[in-house]
Amino acid sequence: MAEESNYILEVKHLCQHFSSGRGKNKLLVKAVDDVSFGVRPAETFGLVGESGCGKTTTGRTIIRLYNPTSGEMYFNGRDIAGPMTKDLRRYLTDNIAMIFQDPIESLNPRMTIEEIVGEGLRIRGMKDKDEVRARVHEMLEKVGLTEEHATRYPHEFSGGQRQRIGIARAMIIKPKMIIADEPVSALDVSIQAQVINLLNDLKEEMGLTILFIAHNLSVVKYFSDRIGVMYYGRLVEIARGDDLYRCPLHPYTKALLSAIPEPNPITERTRKRIDYDPERDHDYSVEKPTMVEVAPEHFVYCSPSELEQYQKQLGL
């Protein structure tokens, strides 16, 4: 990959395996299997793949909700995959914040919005109630809510509003990076744009880096500088957003792209879904696949013969 100092977050050969049962019944789920990527400061990195492919697990492992099975992770050059110390937890929680998928589940039903949003400040030692309140109100303004909403409980809000409250909670501690785990998947299409625009505005304003997780490409395509496509616990293609749309290489990426509805009614009518079947599309019995940089900034998981074919396709 490119020179290391370029990245604010770097993940190398990350594995996250869940095991359940014992002895004969032991079941190993390789939720994340040898995943490597880097995120540059102030960019939006989209992580895309179908449900269950390990996107959430990747995000949660980075922020150390799970301990990684193996692999390395660096944030601003600091190792964040090592043993969990107080210091490391502090470092992680101060620098990375997370936005969750489910607008209902992700807010404590028994706390007011002020308590929810202000919690990050209070546990960081801000004792003065008025100061916390002022900061909370300011943050609520920023996400388009009013001061008066601060005394309310989550169940009184709509999905979009709750998601904005989740954003406010994450932003108030001024993190360097946000991991947004499908923040709009549970919302109406009309509200999705609202939330994404809000995230984008905040990103510009605060110079944030965003790891944006989504299960389809249509959400990330307007939004991400670079996109990583994930399939069954593995990254299969990483490229700049426009490269990925213009010339997708991996058959799974093509399949994902073909699933986006088109605004043009005439081509939409003739749009063909491409389906992806790893058994049919790859022959890895002889050659083992690896992650290769096919073109600048464009990585594909492929075998040597596939690489040749991809290079031909790109006209190299």
Partner 1 sequence: MMIDKNKGLPEEILNLPESSFEMVQTDEIKDEKFKTKPIGFFKDALLRLQHSKISIISFWIILSIIILALIVPNITGFTYTEQDLAKRNLPPKIPGLENIGIADGSRVLTNRKKDSLSDTNRYPEGSIIEIVREYESKGVAMVDVKVDAYALAGIEDDVYHWFGTDYLGRDLMTRLFKGVRISLIIAFFSVITNVIIGVIYGSICGYYGGKVDMFLTHFAEVLDGMPYIVITILFMILLGSGMLSIILALCITGWIGTARLIRAQFYRFKGREYVLAARTLGVPDVKLIFRHILPNCIGPLITRAMIAIPGAIFSESFLAYIGLGIKPPEPSIGILLSDGQSVLLQYPYQTLFPAILISVLMIAFNLFSNGLRDALDPTRRGEE
Ligand X SMILES: Nc1ncnc2c1ncn2[C@@H]1O[C@H](COP(=O)(O)OP(=O)(O)O)[C@@H](O)[C@H]1O
Residues that bind partner 1 (CB under 8 A): 60, 63, 65, 89-90, 93-94, 96-98, 100-102, 105-112, 119-120, 123-124, 143-146, 148-149, 151-153, 155-156, 161, 164, 166, 169, 173, 193-194, 197-198, 201, 245-246, 248, 257-258, 260, 262, 264, 266-267
Helices (H), the chain: 55-62, 86-95, 113-122, 129-142, 159-171, 189-206, 217-220, 241-246, 251-257, 265-270, 278-281, 304-314
Q: For residues 217-256, which are near ligand X according to CB under 6 A?
A: none
Looking at the Cβ atoms of 58 and 106, the one nearer to partner 1 is: 106
> Is there binding between residue 82 and ligand X (CB under 6 A)?
no
Instruction: Provide the CA 294 distance to its chain's centre, in angstroms.
Output: 24
Write the CB contacts of 309 (distance below 8 Å, at least 6 apart in sequence).
none
CB neighbour list of residue 160: distance below 8 Å, 6 or more residues apart: 103, 187, 188, 191, 194, 195
- Identify the residue among 38, 46, 54, 251 touching ligand X (CB under 6 A): 54
Of 107 and 291, the one with the shorter C-beta distance to partner 1 is: 107
> Quick one: 52 or 82, whose CB is closer to Mg ion?
52
- Minimum CB–partner distance for residue 182 and Mg ion (Å): 6
Pick what 74 binds: partner 1, Mg ion, ligand X, none; C-beta below 5 to 8 Å, kind-dependent.
Answer: none
Dihedral sign, CA of 145, 146, 150, 155?
Answer: negative
Among 55, 137, 162, 226, binds ligand X (CB under 6 A): 55
Can you tell me which of 52, 77, 207, 278 binds ligand X, judged by CB under 6 A? Answer: 52
Rounded to whole angstroms, how far apart are CA atoms 202 and 186?
A: 21
The C-alpha atoms of residue 54 and residue 239 are separated, in whole angstroms, by: 19
209 is a site residue for ligand X (CB under 6 A): no
